[in-house]
Amino acid sequence: MSLFRPVIFGLALISGLVNVLALTSPLFMLQVYDRVLASRSLSTLVGLAVLAAGLYAFQATLDVIRSRVLVRIGEKFDRQLSDRVHEVVIRLPLETRMPGDGLQPLRDLDNVRGFLSGQGPAAFFDLPWMPLYLAICFLFHFWIGMTALIGAIMLVSLTFITNALSRGPASDTIRYGMRRNALMDAGRRNAEIVRAMGLGNQMAERWQKANSNYLISHRRAGDVAGGFGGASKSLRMMLQSAILGVGAYLVIEQETSAGVMIASSIMMGRALAPVDLAIATWKPFLMARQSWARLKELLILLPEADNAIALPKPERDLRAEAVTIVPPGEKKPTVTAVSFAISAGSALGIIGPSGSGKSTLARALVGVWKPVNGKVRIDGASFEQWDREGLGRHIGYLPQGIELFDGTIGENIARFAPDAPAESVVAAAKAAGAHDLILRFERGYETSIGEGGSALSAGQRQRIGLARALYGDPFLVILDEPNANLDSEGEAGVVRAIASVRERKGIVVVIAHRPSALGVVDLVLAMESGRAKAFGPRDEVLSRVLRKPNQQPPNGSTTQGYSASARSLSPLRVIANPASESGVSEQADQEDAKH
């Protein structure tokens, strides 16, 4: 906020001049009634009119300048914080569980900018000048000043009452609005399920309930602001009439002049106008204040990452050191004390029953979720020591739920890098076995895929997501269920992609229930209930995992809980490189015979 101090000082100066120039109207009336009418001098009237017109023009110019400066302060405020707010919106779901649709920080920024750009700040700049107008009213006459002072106290009291009664409804409006937006966004994202399974009425009922709560809270906030706004306006008009009445009484008693009576009425109206405007804009002010409090809390909760020193391109290994992970918003870890090491040129397959923590571990390996204990290291450096943008170029990630961005196929594969080399985009697509698929589209790589890749099938999204993961030949490639939506041709492409990463001395981590991807890995990590039950060479670990539940493995280790996953892994006949991996196929046949 220190950047705005010179501008705020300038606004205060402009507001002071505007408030001094606001005396033009009452003083002009005073001179007309007491000087022009008494002397019947047209030249005096013309002179006063020309002077007043000039002052009015100057005041209007200053008002326009102040309004434009306020708009630009709001814009400057937005520009200063928009990058941080964008970062917070992206990081929030990775750090904590955020209610609503996750876009509330952006709305909070809009609320603050909207208030700063409106008339609300002008009222607060004008309020300190109220004593000047009241003092002039006292100079006119003691009882005129007392009438104005009593009216100011009443209006200021209304302002505090408005603040007290508006705070709760305004907070409820934002909370219910977040809930309503979240339900609407969930319905939009799951439109196919809603239509196919006939959930329209149920979803509409839930949304209507949330919307009803939002409307009720919005109405309460509006009733408070509108009610006290109307009351303040009526009170101000009543006070102006009252001061005219007091002035008329003083004129009858010959204690003041008619000019003073008219001027004091105008003066009081000017004195109370900032209070009236403050009450009228109190709801936006309250929402902006609450929005700013939430923004500050979030910015403190998610501070800017320190600029890390650029490290050399990774080329040696990936290590997990007693990694324990608690999902955002949860208290119980879903992965506990997992350790392993992978050298360049190796591929690790992670297997285990559903809910064993495989995808959770994958998120930690790419730095999406931060371990509560332990470290993930690439070439000896933890993620905190890497520059995230720089490290991201060396990581390829294919999550279980494929999310593509609105844009072209080529832009998505290139990770929206500006001026991405076309040959690199095509090379990534070929590595993923997606090049021919892309060429079948009428516009090829320039095909627009819509929001979330809605124009593509699940298999097409998965293959384009794989091409994105392979773009730029990253050192570490994490693939979570890469063949879940693929046909045999797509599966063969995944197997070739894993083999190609190993050939160029990269590291691949594959989470798989289907056996084809395991044919080209040399290491396997078996997980159960969030813990590593076995890690080592593929053949050795699979022989333990595929053992019958009642058959005791060597060294007293257990394989309980793997019978279901073993059956899903048993047909290990789909091998990418039979010459080098023949042992797995033969072993799978033996295990099938046992079952």
Cβ atoms of residues 431 and 467 within 8 Å: yes
Cβ atoms of residues 377 and 319 within 8 Å: yes
Cβ atoms of residues 502 and 463 within 8 Å: no
Contacts by 9-17 with C-beta closer than 8 Å and gap 24+? Answer: 10/69, 11/66, 11/69, 11/70, 11/73, 11/121, 11/125, 12/125, 14/62, 14/65, 14/66, 14/69, 15/66, 15/122, 15/125, 15/126, 15/129, 16/129, 17/62
User: 203 by DSSP, 3-state: which?
Assistant: helix
CB atoms within 10 A of CB 4: 14
Q: Specify burial of residue 579 (Cβ count, 10 A radius: 0-12, 13-18, 19+).
A: exposed
pLDDT tens profile 239-252: 878 888 888 888 88
Tell me where in the chain the CATH 1.20.1560.10 domain(s) lie: 2-301
CB atoms within 10 A of CB 44: 15
On average, the pLDDT of the chain sits at 81
User: What pLDDT is recorded for position 547?
Assistant: 63
Cα–Cα distance, 25 to 56 (Å, whole number): 9
Cβ atoms of residues 48 and 259 within 8 Å: no
Cβ atoms of residues 330 and 393 within 8 Å: no
Percentage of residues in the chain with pLDDT exceeding 90?
21
Weakest mean pLDDT among 130-134, 205-209, 448-452: 448-452
pLDDT tens profile 476-531: 999 988 877 777 777 888 888 999 999 999 999 999 876 667 888 999 999 888 99
CB atoms within 10 A of CB 529: 15
Please, what is the end-to-end C-alpha distance for the chain in angstroms? 71
No. of helices (H) and no. of strands (E), the chain: 22, 10
Cβ atoms of residues 557 and 568 within 8 Å: no
Topology of domain 2-301, CATH: ABC transporter transmembrane region fold (1.20.1560)
CB atoms within 10 A of CB 293: 11
User: What pLDDT is recorded for position 54?
Assistant: 93
User: What pLDDT is recorded for position 80?
Assistant: 84
User: What pLDDT is recorded for position 2?
Assistant: 59
pLDDT tops 80 at residue 469:
yes
Strand ranges across the sheet with 395-398: 395-398, 476-480, 507-511, 347-351, 523-528, 531-537
Cα–Cα distance, 89 to 223 (Å, whole number): 32
CB atoms within 10 A of CB 165: 18
| DSSP secondary structure of 470-513 | HTT--SEEEEESTTTT--HHHHHHHHHHHHHHHHTT-EEEEE-S
E strand or H helix at 525, and its extent? strand 523-528
pLDDT tens profile 115-140: 888 888 888 888 888 888 888 888 88
pLDDT band, very low/low/confident/very high, at 594 (cuts 50, 70, 90): very low
Cα–Cα distance, 61 to 55 (Å, whole number): 10
Cβ atoms of residues 129 and 136 within 8 Å: no
Cα–Cα distance, 439 to 459 (Å, whole number): 15
Cβ atoms of residues 227 and 120 within 8 Å: no
Cα–Cα distance, 413 to 468 (Å, whole number): 4
Cα–Cα distance, 528 to 460 (Å, whole number): 31
Cα–Cα distance, 88 to 94 (Å, whole number): 10
According to the CATH classification, is domain 317-546 in 3.40.50.300? yes
Sorted by sequence, the CB contacts under 8 Å of residue 561 that are 6+ apart come out as 353, 528, 529
User: What pLDDT is recorded for position 566?
Assistant: 43
pLDDT tens profile 328-343: 878 889 999 999 999 9
Between 475 and 308, whose confidence is greater? 475
The conformation of residue 135, written as its DSSP 8-state character, comes to: H
Provide mean pLDDT across the span 539-552: 68
pLDDT tens profile 305-331: 667 777 889 989 999 999 999 988 788
Spatial CA neighbour of 261 closest among 150, 171, 141 = 141
Q: Tell if the pTM clears 0.85, that is, is over it.
A: no
Supply 177's token pair: 């609005």
Weakest mean pLDDT among 46-55, 231-240, 386-395, 499-508: 231-240
Sorted by sequence, the CB contacts under 8 Å of residue 41 that are 6+ apart come out as 35
Strand 373-378 with 523-528, pairing: unpaired
